[in-house]
Amino acid sequence: KAGVTQTPRYLIKTRGQQVTLSCSPISGHRSVSWYQQTPGQGLQFLFEYFSETQRNKGNFPGRFSGRQFSNSRSEMNVSTLELGDSALYLCASSEGQVGSQPQHFGDGTRLSIL
């Protein structure tokens, strides 16, 4: 089985732009979660989708949004980019049975804001 695939792996943007990151979960997985990883704040939960519905949301501003498609693929969008948005963005998928099945992570998208 292919693992979680995130594209692109690296991205460079400037302040004020917007960006869309993509995540393809493991085949059969219906739950997709997004995390932001920075040296200062560590790993922080952004949001979680299950069957195209947002199931949970972290404490991030409205500039951060996401969606999930009928094939379970997910995208996250960040608008009006700020320098502080520079981070590794990780996507994780699971079968969807809450908590009992571990999340499998992709290699992430490293976003750099100039």
Q: Check binding of 59 to other proteins (CB under 8 A).
A: no
> In the set 56, 77, 80, 112, which binds other proteins (CB under 8 A)?
56
Burial class of residue 55 (count of CB atoms within 10 Å of its CB; 0-12, 13-18, 19+): middle
Record the tokens describing residue 60, joined without a space.
Answer: 């991030």
Task: Output the CA torsion sign for 11, 37, 73, 17.
Answer: negative
Determine the straight-line distance between the first and last CA of the chain, rounded to whole angstroms.
37
**85 DSSP assignment:** G
Q: Give the x/- contact pattern for other proteins in 10-49, rule: CB under 8 A.
A: ---------------------x-x-x------xx-x--x-
Q: Which positions from 60 through 99 interact with other proteins, judged by CB under 8 A? A: 90, 92, 94, 96, 98-99
Interface residues with other proteins (CB under 8 A) are: 4, 6, 31, 33, 35, 42-43, 45, 48, 55-56, 58, 90, 92, 94, 96, 98-100, 102-108
